[in-house]
Amino acid sequence: MEKISAEVIGKFESEGDANKLVYAPLNAPVKYRRTRIYILEYEGQVQSAEDFVNRSLVDDYADEVFFTGEPAVQDFSFYIDYEMKPGALDLEKEAILSSHKGTEGFNILSLKLVQRIYIFSDPSITSERFVRDVCNPAIHVWSVTDSNGRKVA
């Protein structure tokens, strides 16, 4: 079994005002950037897996994809990863798996979709407000990673 992680980022998108992410403004100059991460476990050639990602999950003109496993964005304060709870009905995942149909010269054994939000701020801004307003504990699991790569929540 092989594993591949692909982080996809919009080439034409730039940092946005993070006050949009929370219910009440933070009254601070905080920026954010979103990416999406696909983690595939598969049987077959790594090239076939990368081809599948490029063909199905990445926009030729508007996206960039990173297979390194390292954050695609630098100089952030922290980032929040959130995804559907294991066992929850994830229609996006089902649609992607359905589009695959095992015709790509490799078999997907599992697929994980992670939404990532990078926050750019001064140290006084913490992750709690973002986690509270972005993540839904009924359906999501999440983690927070600081700029040193340490999981802090």
Which of the stretches 59-67, 104-112, 126-134, 142-150 binds another protein when contact is defined by CB under 8 A?
59-67
| 24 contributes a contact to another protein by CB under 8 A | no
Count of C-beta atoms within a 10 Å radius of residue 30: 24
Position among 43, 59, 64, 133 found at the interface with another protein (CB under 8 A)? 59
Helix, coil or strand: residue 48: helix
| 95 contributes a contact to another protein by CB under 8 A | yes
Half-sphere exposure of 62 (CA within 13 A, CB side): 7
| 89 contributes a contact to another protein by CB under 8 A | no
Q: What DSSP state is assigned to residue 89?
A: -
Position among 45, 47, 99, 136 found at the interface with another protein (CB under 8 A)? 99
| 20 contributes a contact to another protein by CB under 8 A | yes
Write phi, then psi, for 78 (nearest 5 degrees). -165, 165
Count of C-beta atoms within a 10 Å radius of residue 48: 16
Binding site residues, another protein, CB under 8 A: 10, 12-13, 16, 20, 56-57, 59-63, 91-92, 95-96, 99, 101, 103
